[in-house]
Each structure stands twice: as C-alpha cells, then as structure tokens.
Amino acid sequence: MTTTATISKANNPLLQGSGLPPFADIKPEHVVPAIKELIDQLDAELTKLETTVEPTWTGLVEPLEKISERLTWTWGAVSHLMGVKNSNELREAYETVQPLVVQFSNKLSQSQPIYKAFKALRNLHTWTTLEPAQQRIVDSAIRDAELSGVGLEGEAKERFNAIQMELAELSTKFSNHVLDATKAYKLKLTNKDEVEGLPPSLLSLAAQVARAGGDENATPSDGPWVITLDFPSYGPFMQHSTRRDLREKLYKVYITRAADGDLDNNPLIERILELRLELATLLGYKNYAEVSLASKMAPNVEAVEKLLEELRSASYDAAVKELEELKAFAASQSAAEANDLKHWDITFWAERQREAKFNFTQEELRPYFPLPQVLDGLFGLVKRLFGVTVTPADGQAPIWQEDVRYFQIADDTGASIAYFYLDPYSRPAEKRGGAWMDTCVNRAKLFENGTSSTRLPVAYLVCNQTPPIDGKPSLMTFNEVETLFHEFGHGLHHMLTKVDYVSAAGINNVEWDAVELPSQFMENWCYERPTLFGMAKHYETGEILPEHYYQKLLAAKNYMSGSGMLRQIHFSIVDLELHNSYRPGSSETASDVRKRLAETTTVIPPLPEDAFLCAFSHIFSGGYASGYYSYKWAEVLSADAFAAFEEVGLDNETAVKDTGKLYRETVLALGGSKHPMEVFKNFRGREPSTEPLLRHNGLAVA
C-alpha cells in the first residue's frame, strides 16, 4: 500500500497520454490510480462537452475524439500488457478498474446531448462541406448510438434497457451451462485396450486429468486415463481412438451437452430469440438479422443468403463425393463399418486417410522456416507488392520484454510512414495464447501551435511461436508462417492507411464482416511459388524446400474442403434463419429449424437427439448473432482480391506491381473512410464474386 501512496499524477507513466507507452516504467500498481484519475478527468470533460457541444466538426467530433483517444491511450497500454506481460498483480488491478472503464464507455456512447449534436450536424447546411470520410464517421456514430437505444424515449427506452439487461444475464447463463455441462462429464479408462491408437500427447493429458481427479499414480503408459469433453481431449480422442464403441459413447454425450436438466439451454434459446426480436422491433427493424446487418458490409439478408447458397450448392456435391471416398478408403483398410460410416467414424477415418495421403507432419517442415528468413520473405513480398521498405528500428522504442523487436516502414521516397512491434515467441507464464494484431498509435493529423503534423501509426504484432533454443533460430511450422502473414495483413491495414481522421483510419470504423479481408489476403501468398521458395530454405544446409513438400502443402490445403465448407455454411444458415424468419413460440422450435435446414446443408443428417444449438455459444453468448456468415463473407472478399493478382499473371512483375499499388491505394489506404463495398469496387471494379474462393478450395462453381 505504501507504493500506491507514493504514486502521484505527475510520475504515473500511465498518465503520460501520448507517444509510445513507456513500457519499462509501467508497473501493476500504476493501473488503479491512473484509471481512477483519468476517468475522473474525462468524466468532467464529457459533462462539460455535453453543455457546450456545437453541431460542427470542431465543436463535436474533435473534442469527442480527444476524450476517447486519451482513454484508449491508457487503457490500450494496460490491455496490451494484460496480453503480453500478465501477472496476478496486473490482473487484479485490471479487474478492479475495468467496471469504471466500461461504465464510462457506455456513458460516452449513450450520451443524449452528443447524439443530438450528431443528428443536428447531419441536418445543417454545412453537412455538405464535410469530406465523405467525415460524413461516414458521423453516420457511423449516429447508427451506433441508435443501436444502443439512444434514440428511444419513455417506456420504449425502459423496455429496451430491461431487455438488454435480461439478454446479458441469459448470455452469461448460456455459456455457464455449456461450461458446466462440459466439465460434468468424464470418461475414465483403465484398460490398455481402451486407449488404443491415442497419441502420446493425449495419453499424457488424460493421465494428468486423472491425477487431478484423485488417481495420484496415474501415468501416461499405465493409466488410468480420463477423457473429457474439453476440445483438447475430445478432439484428438475422436481422431485417434480405435475403439468405435467409445467414440460413439463420447460423441453422443458431446452432442447433448446443456440440453436437459438444470443445465438445459433450450428454454434460454427461445427466450433469447424472443427478446432479440422484441429489441429489433423497438429499434424499428423487422427482425434481429436486420439489426445485426445494420452495422455490417452485407447490405441485407438476401445478399447473405445468395452468397451462402452459391457456396452451398458448390460444396454439397463435393462433400457427398468426399464421403464416398472416405468410405472407399475405410473399406480398403478392412473397416467393418466402411459402408455405414456414422458421425463418430468420420473424424477418425478422415484422419487415417490424411495420414495415408500426405504422410508428413508439421514438424518436418520447421527446419525450412527459421523466423529471420520468413521475415525477409514477408518484407520482400510487401516491397514487391506495395513498394514499402521494412527495416529494423530496435532501440528506438520502449519494449516490455527483451525479445520484442521494433520495425520501421518507409515508402518509396524513403520517408517513414509507420512502425510496428513484433513480439514473436511463446511465453506461457505471462502471455496469452494465439496471435493477434492490435493498434498502439492511430494515424492522425494533428494541429498544435498553429502547425500541422501527421502522427504515424504504430501496430502491435503478437505471435506465440517456439523461441530460439540451443543456438537454433525460432523454427516455424507452416501454420505459424501463415499466421504471421495473416496478422501482418491486419497490421498493413492499420499502418498503410492514408486516412487522417482517427475514427476512420486503418481498421477503425471498418465493418467486421470486411475486417478479415487484408489479413486472409496475405495468407494466399504463402502458397505462391516465388514467395514460398524465396523463404523456405533449410536453416543449416540452405537446401530449398523439396518440391514434394510443396505439392503436399497444396493438396493438404484442400483436403475434404467441400465438407469443411458445408459445415460452416450449415452454421451460418441456421444462425441467419433463427434471427430472420423464425418466430419463437410458433409450432416449429429452434431445433426443428436446424433439422429442416440440415436436409440441404449436411450429408449425414444430425441424430434425432443432436442438440448442437444448446452449445452454439458463438451466437447465443458471443457476438456472432446473425453474424456467423462473416467468416465466409470475408473469405470470399480476400480470395477475390487475390484473384486480381492471378488474373494479371503472378509471373508478370509489372502487372503484379500495378495491381499491388491499386490494392494499397484502395483496400489498405481507405480504412473505414468509405463503405467496404465501395472500397472493394474501387479495387476490383465490380462487386465480389464467390468463384475465386471456390476455385482456391478446389471446388467447381455449381
């Protein structure tokens, strides 16, 4: 407690408010006093702005952006450290002040005077003097405020708030039920013949779970072993267990999670859908799908349905064929069930067939992908496509860990245009898993003391790959290479923006069904010959990746792609229908809807007891309600964008450069300043087509 007392406003690094966060100086004990002080200040400023606000750009948007930027500067640094330098102290501090931040953010987005000023700004004659980017920022602000209920008054407003409250509770309850149901089940195995086929990693995990459950002497080799419904346990078991009876048993428990008794999610589903429909009606929409799409790139439900149907009809026949092939393969392995593969056989045989067909592991490729070479390849690619040069700038920025690198991006005149951090290695003790891009500094035009300057964007790129060990560099799997390219694509979106208004620079104000376009676009290049062979060289011998590996990578990419695509389409269509035409309380239940739609979106129909919806957390407790289609929507965009390069010829360097320049000036430069459909059309000259995605997946257009 003494440390807290000695922290004053002046020496709290989290209150610096501009520039790069001084990571070396920030300590967990700075968080609580900084946030309390900051929220106090910003709260006072917001209250003042609410009384003095004018419906002009400088009297409304600029002061508002200043407030939210200050919050983002401090809270962004704290959140970043939560991801990369976590500790009990930091977590505790974060949890202490998080409610304050949420409360203030709500106040900011639901302010009546601010909302009214935005509306007035749009109705004034000066509206037309604003640039399109400014107009879009205002339009988005009004839309978001209205979706959060600001436009409602009296009884409608009260009802809206009550619905929001109940929905939040139901969503938490829903995910708790899934969690509890998942945890409740354990399959304890004691005989060696029950674990036949399981890989060593799963045996270790299963023995560890057994030990945690009281079997203190459990070992990976002699058991007992406990299999659970957690995916790291369930998934590999279904892939590898040779015991068909146990696979069936486990599968049937898995598909009925949270579907009866105390943990039954069925009534919650009906209630959630009912409330969402009522909420949509209050906001003046026909149904919840319309509410969801109001802030997305997809113009309407029909457009989403059309896209999904194109993908469905193309993947359905392929999925049927893949099942036939799988049956033939199982027959060739003398499987008794070959002619009657059930749900619990598919994953198992698909994995056997994969092993037989491709016969290589992720591990084998590691020596060909040392991080420094992969970075050279990646930086060479962005130079080739976009004319920008990436150079190390280590030492020019404060870092949070010694392995963190800092880079500069310069344009073709040599002028600096952006910077980024790269934190590549896994540190399980303090770093969150997965990979991500986050914004550190947004691009903006600043006016100070009569002069204007451009603040350059800075990105965080965070991965979780193997650190250098025993003098070897970090050796990456091909998946890790793809992930790095993916995150770098998000980074380019943030860093190569030419928008000077913070609220629409880079990824800001980009609709979320469009935000994965630049990231998935970059993944395509990992399979492009010059890019791949330019970086894939054995780290010791310099040997170039053997051709047969390349062919296997290409083939493995499309392995059972029809079934994979159809599965995603099934989820998307069910989600959309439940939020579009479904009416809770009618004779058809949500589960009936799913069964009806399964007729055309699954090859083996779900079992009668299948309660998949009861565990569909994405749409009932995540943010994906009527938005699950976004995965496919963005993939269509990114594949079509890559196809622009294929069309001009990937071996025609001049044409690739020209196309790269156009891509940079549209997709990467315009950020959220224009509607994503306009941005896409600026680049492609037409609306997106599903043909390239289908072709890249080895699926013919139906």
Residues belonging to the active site: 487
Report in angstroms how near the CB of residue 481 gets to Zn ion at its nearest: 15
Beta bridge partners of residue 438, listed in sequence order: 460
CB neighbour class for 93 (10 Å; exposed up to 12, middle 13-18, buried from 19): buried
Residue 669 DSSP label? T
Site for Zn ion, residues 156 to 175, rule: CB under 5 A: none
**Residue 487 in 3-state DSSP?**
helix
Q: What are phi and psi of 460, to 5 degrees?
A: -105, 125
CA distances (Å), origin 63, targets 66, 114, 605, 657: 5, 11, 56, 41
Q: What is the C-alpha to C-alpha distance for residues 341 and 329, in angstroms, rounded to an integer? A: 11
Report in angstroms how near the CB of residue 671 gets to Zn ion at its nearest: 16
The stretch near Zn ion (CB under 5 A) out of 168-176, 213-221, 243-251, 515-523 is 515-523
Answer yes or no: are the C-beta atoms of 497 and 671 closer than 8 Å: yes
Collect all residues with Cβ–Cβ distance below 8 Å to 547 and sequence separation of at least 6: none
Report in angstroms how near the CB of residue 307 gets to Zn ion at its nearest: 20
Q: What is the C-alpha to C-alpha distance for residues 171 and 178, in angstroms, rounded to an integer? A: 11
Residue 257 DSSP label? T
The residue (of 474 and 519) whose beta carbon lies closer to Zn ion is 519
**673 contributes a contact to Zn ion by CB under 5 A:** no
Report in angstroms how near the CB of residue 516 gets to Zn ion at its nearest: 5
The residue (of 519 and 601) whose beta carbon lies closer to Zn ion is 519
Q: What is the C-alpha to C-alpha distance for residues 218 and 207, in angstroms, rounded to an integer? A: 5
Render 359-407 in DSSP notation, one character per residue. ---HHHHGGG-BHHHHHHHHHHHHHHHH--EEEE-TTSS--SSTT-EEE
The residue (of 519 and 621) whose beta carbon lies closer to Zn ion is 519
What mask of x and - would describe binding to Zn ion in positions 382 to 411, judged by CB under 5 A? ------------------------------
- How many positions of this chain bind Zn ion (CB under 5 A)? 1
Report in angstroms how near the CB of residue 438 gets to Zn ion at its nearest: 11
Report in angstroms how near the CB of residue 435 gets to Zn ion at its nearest: 9
The pairing of beta strand 405-410 with beta strand 416-425: antiparallel
The stretch near Zn ion (CB under 5 A) out of 263-271, 326-334, 448-456, 516-524 is 516-524
The residue (of 159 and 432) whose beta carbon lies closer to Zn ion is 432
The residue (of 257 and 494) whose beta carbon lies closer to Zn ion is 494
The stretch near Zn ion (CB under 5 A) out of 256-264, 517-525, 587-595, 654-662 is 517-525
Site for Zn ion, residues 351 to 380, rule: CB under 5 A: none
Residue 111 DSSP label? -
The residue (of 519 and 572) whose beta carbon lies closer to Zn ion is 519
Q: How many CB atoms lie within 10 A of CB 51?
A: 7
The residue (of 265 and 519) whose beta carbon lies closer to Zn ion is 519
Single out the residue of 111, 233, 442, 519 in contact with Zn ion (rule: CB under 5 A): 519
The stretch near Zn ion (CB under 5 A) out of 83-91, 111-119, 513-521, 642-650 is 513-521
Q: What is the C-alpha to C-alpha distance for residues 189 and 531, in angstroms, rounded to an integer? A: 48
The residue (of 519 and 531) whose beta carbon lies closer to Zn ion is 519
Report in angstroms how near the CB of residue 303 gets to Zn ion at its nearest: 22
The stretch near Zn ion (CB under 5 A) out of 336-344, 511-519, 595-603, 673-681 is 511-519
Report in angstroms how near the CB of residue 519 gets to Zn ion at its nearest: 4
State both tokens at 199: 């890989």
Collect all residues with Cβ–Cβ distance below 8 Å to 169 and sequence separation of at least 6: none
Residue 667 DSSP label? I
Q: What is the C-alpha to C-alpha distance for residues 80 and 82, in angstroms, rounded to an integer? A: 5
Collect all residues with Cβ–Cβ distance below 8 Å to 151 and sequence separation of at least 6: 115, 145, 283
Nearest to 73 by CA among 20, 143, 148: 20
CA 534, distance to chain mean position in Å, is 29
The pairing of beta strand 416-425 with beta strand 458-465: parallel
Q: Where are the beta strands (DSSP E) in 80-191?
A: 186-189
Residue nearest to Zn ion according to CB distances in the complex: 519
The residue (of 151 and 489) whose beta carbon lies closer to Zn ion is 489
Report in angstroms how near the CB of residue 437 gets to Zn ion at its nearest: 7
> Residues interacting with Zn ion, by CB under 5 A?
519
